[in-house]
């Protein structure tokens, strides 16, 4: 329950920072839709966590449309940050896997 409450709080923070889905004419409906979308997105990424490498790839394709494509400098800065994060997470994953293989095989 605590995790769900934190996800809903993140959704409200996102919605009230002027980053909401504007599908309806009602602000309340747009806020509710945004919160549901954020919670759904968080949980779908959590479900993908068991597949190696796919979580970073999915996150990359979710973030790319959100970036300001007109400002090329900002786009490439975010792209470098995303690339670095994916590389670092893969490095840490492989390091842990190699250590566990050494422990099993002596």
The per-residue pLDDT for range 27-64, each reduced to its tens digit, is 999 999 989 988 888 877 776 666 666 777 777 766 66
Domain check: are 69 and 105 in the same one? yes
Which pLDDT belongs to residue 106?
56
Q: What is the mean pLDDT of residues 14-34?
A: 87
Domain check: are 5 and 42 in the same one? yes
Which pLDDT belongs to residue 41?
80
Domain check: are 17 and 66 in the same one? no
Instruction: Give residue 25's pLDDT band: very low, low, confident or very high (50, 70, 90).
Output: very high
Domain check: are 25 and 42 in the same one? yes
Q: Find the domain containing 61 and state its range.
A: 51-106
Domain boundary among 49, 64, 83: 49
Which pLDDT belongs to residue 14?
85
CA distance readout (Å), 1 to 5, 13, 43, 45, 49: 6, 18, 13, 18, 20
Domain check: are 69 and 39 in the same one? no
The token pair at 50 is 């068991």
Q: Residues 57-101: pLDDT tens digits? A: 777 766 666 665 556 566 666 666 666 666 766 666 677 667 666
Domain check: are 72 and 99 in the same one? yes
Domain check: are 32 and 70 in the same one? no
Domain check: are 16 and 61 in the same one? no
Domain check: are 57 and 45 in the same one? no
Domain check: are 102 and 73 in the same one? yes
- Contacts by residues 49-53 (CB-CB < 8 Å, ≥ 24 positions apart): 52/93, 53/90
Which pLDDT belongs to residue 28?
93
| Domain tally, the chain | 2
Domain check: are 43 and 56 in the same one? no
């Amino acid at each position: 329950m605590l995790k769900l409450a934190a996800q809903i709080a993140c959704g409200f923070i996102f919605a009230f920072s002027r980053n909401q889905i504007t599908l309806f004419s009602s602000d309340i409906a747009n806020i509710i839709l945004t919160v549901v979308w954020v919670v759904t997105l968080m949980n779908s990424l959590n479900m993908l966590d068991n597949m190696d490498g796919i979580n970073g790839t999915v996150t990359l394709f979710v973030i790319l449309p959100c970036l300001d494509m007109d400002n090329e400098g900002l786009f490439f800065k975010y792209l470098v940050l995303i690339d670095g994060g994916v590389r670092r997470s893969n490095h840490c994953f492989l390091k842990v896997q190699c250590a566990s293989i050494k422990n099993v095989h002596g």
